[in-house]
A and B are shown apart, each in its own frame.
Chain A
Amino acid sequence: MLLYLPVAEWPVNMFVIFGLGGAVGFISGMFGVGGGFLLTPLLVFSGISPAVAVATVSAQVVASSTSGMLAYRRRKAIDWKLALWLLSGGMIGSWIGVQVFAFLRTLGQLDLVIGLCYVVFLGFIGGFMVIESVGAIFAARRETTPAPKKLREHGWIHRLPFPVRFPRSRLVISALPVLVLGAGIGFLGTLLGIGGGFLIVPAMIYLLKVPANIVVGTSLVQMVATMSFATFLQAVQNHTVDIVLGLLLMVGGVIGAQFGAQIGQRLRGEQLRALLGLLILSVGLRFAVDLVVTPAERYTVSVQVGGTP
């Protein structure tokens, strides 16, 4: 059934978009990630302009992160103070992201920058996850438990000025890396149309040394707030949020996530990480191929935005 999207000005098959949201929701429920890094490229491949895809997926990330955040809130697995610091940085990053987004769009280089960022970040994180989890799987086979890492190990990040106490995480760290991390994720999330869960969770564990049981809930609070802000800014400045498209993706995603979560519970942690790593890596590679291989069509046509093309 064809449905005409009012802001994207593009007719789509309702069930295809609904299914797309459901499939990505399934994956996001299975691995506990937002799935924006899959959804944005898939929407672009189905004919929706990158500007609308990126802005609309930020609204979808709000919805998918909210249900997760509420579950973690019931378990009291959220460090609200840390979340507040992260999202303050996140909003600044998000604001910069919207400005850069609009600027790149007028330059005609938005797809290049999005492509390069996907290659670099997805390739790096995906590769790291695959190597780490395959190592863990082999270590488990040999039944030799790896030497437990000292979680309270204090690196250079913990010697920076302006220390702040985060009682829930039993952590005293400088405000600077927290703000910078929040801003960085907010910036990339807004620019690339991703929540950034797969970036912020490892960063919080390895860089800030936040306890693992608090990381996911806290990062979800940060994502809900930052992506809400990003949605609002995109609507005000770029007018590219398509709420009809967003709602289809949200409903499909929320339903798909329930089935994904059930499958996810049956798999072991390192198996999940290996699969997710492969998935992230392959999306990154897909973008790398697009950048390197001679395109079938070298020309593109777009309606002029802003003053200079």
Chain B
Amino acid sequence: MIRRVLAALALAVATALPAAAETLIAAVSAHSVAISSTFAGTDLTVYGSVERDGTTVSRASGYDIAVMLIGPRRTVVTRRKDRVVGLWVNRDWRTYDAPSFYAVATTRPFAEIAPPQVLDAQQIGVANLILPEGIPGGVEVQAGAAEFRDAFLALQQKNGLYAEYPSAVRFLGTSLFSVTLPIPAEVPVGRYTARVVLLSDGSPLAEHVSMIEVAKSGFEQQVADLAAHRGAIYGLVAVLIALTTGWLGGVLFRRD
């Protein structure tokens, strides 16, 4: 796994160095997403332009843009149920150090933009995500892991946490581009990075990274903070609310 990461990094450095004179300018429509009590998901627009000057070589194949919105990494456990004496029980598991959210949008289908090694190095596409894996007992075994990895990626996509939007990035004219990515209501909180990569002829030319903070706001944040950091006070308040609600119900609907 470490070898794979290193190889990917080396490739990223090697392909990024001979960057031509294009400059990538990009911005996001919001640097923070506030989750309030009525939060039902939102949209994030990423836009930018490919700047050229007189010395820039002309590129016959044109430009491609890949936009990725990546959530904070978390350790998640993927468990598999197996039949034990007639019952379906969680047995084997793998842990993945994986982004909690990942959405990617591109100008064309991934395979047409760049060769697999470049997609891998640039982390374009759910299947190309680098996921350090932990296994029971801590011994690294490669065989059989693909099954867990595939199941994990499929579940994340089913739950709306990983998403691919090939051909969603639109060029307006020759240099301006924009894409709108949906952010679902189930979005995990934390610091996100929006990465824009400019490619041409299968090679990355430039990239731009912006930070986006996804956080609970107002009442939601206060309740969550209290629950997480002041458990005793929160617990007492919860019990008091329960007792009061029950008492009020008894008084309002008194039957005897």
How distant is B251 from chain A, measured CB to nearest CB, in Å?
Answer: 8
**Docked-complex contact A239 and B231, CB < 8 angstroms:** yes
At the interface, yes or no: B79 with Cβ under 8 Å from chain A? yes
List the A side residues contacting B228 at CB < 8 Å: 239
B176 interface contact, C-beta 8 A: no
Taking A63-B243, A301-B155 as contacts, is the C-beta distance between A71 and B227 under 8 angstroms?
no
A145 at the interface (CB under 8 A from B): no
Cβ-defined contact, A243 with B185, below 8 A? no
* A9 cross-chain contacts in B, Cβ below 8 A: 186, 188-189, 224
Q: Which residue of B lies closest to A29 (CB)?
A: B253
Do A62 and B79 touch (CB < 8 A)?
no
Q: Are A243 and B88 in contact (CB under 8 A)?
A: no
A108 lies within 8 A of B79 (CB): yes
B156 within 8 A of A: yes
Is B63 interfacial (CB 8 A cutoff)? no
Mark each residue of chain A from 5 to 31: 1 if its CB lies under 8 Å from any CB of chain B, else 0.
011011100000000000000000000
Q: Is residue A46 contacting chain B, with contact meaning CB distance below 8 A?
A: no
A161 to chain B, nearest CB (A): 35
Complex Cα distance, B223 from A243, in Å, reads: 8
Choice from B76, B79, B95, B246 contacting A66 with Cβ under 8 Å: B246
- A6-B237 in contact given A62-B243, A251-B245, A304-B75 (Cβ < 8 Å): no
Per DSSP, chain A at the interface is helix
A64 contacts B246, C-beta separation under 8 Å: yes
> For the complex, is A169 an interface residue (Cβ under 8 Å from B)?
no
Within 8 A of B (CB), among A216-230: 224, 228
Within the complex, the shortest CB–CB distance from A240 to chain B, in Å, comes to: 8
Does A2 count as interface, using CB distance less than 8 angstroms? yes
Please, which residues of chain A bring their CB within 8 A of the CB of B221?
A: 6
CB of B146 within 8 A of chain A? Answer: no
Contacting residue for B235 out of A60, A66, A236, CB 8 A: A236
Q: Are A261 and B77 in contact (CB under 8 A)?
A: no
Contact A298 B155 (CB under 8 A): no
Instruction: State in angstroms the CA–CA spacing of A71 and B39 once bound together.
Output: 40
Check if A254 sits within 8 Å of B245, measured CB to CB.
Answer: yes
B81 to A228, Cβ gap below 8 A?
Answer: no
Q: Is the CB of A67 within 8 A of B247?
A: yes
Known contacts A10-B186, A74-B256, A232-B236; decide if A300 and B40 are in contact (CB<8 Å).
no
A4 to B36, CA, bound (A): 7
Within 8 A of B (CB), among A40-85: 59-60, 62-71, 74-75
Interface CB pairs A-B, < 8 A, 30: A4-B39, A6-B219, A6-B224, A6-B227, A7-B224, A9-B189, A11-B185, A59-B238, A62-B246, A64-B246, A65-B246, A66-B242, A66-B245, A66-B247, A67-B247, A71-B256, A75-B256, A109-B89, A111-B90, A228-B243, A235-B235, A241-B234, A293-B88, A294-B88, A295-B81, A298-B81, A299-B78, A299-B80, A304-B95, A309-B93
Counting from the closest, the 5 A-B pairs by CB-CB distance are A66-B246, A235-B235, A254-B249, A67-B250, A62-B242
Given contacts A59-B239, A236-B231, A250-B241, 7 further A-B contacts (CB under 8 A): A7-B223, A7-B224, A71-B255, A232-B236, A232-B239, A291-B88, A294-B88
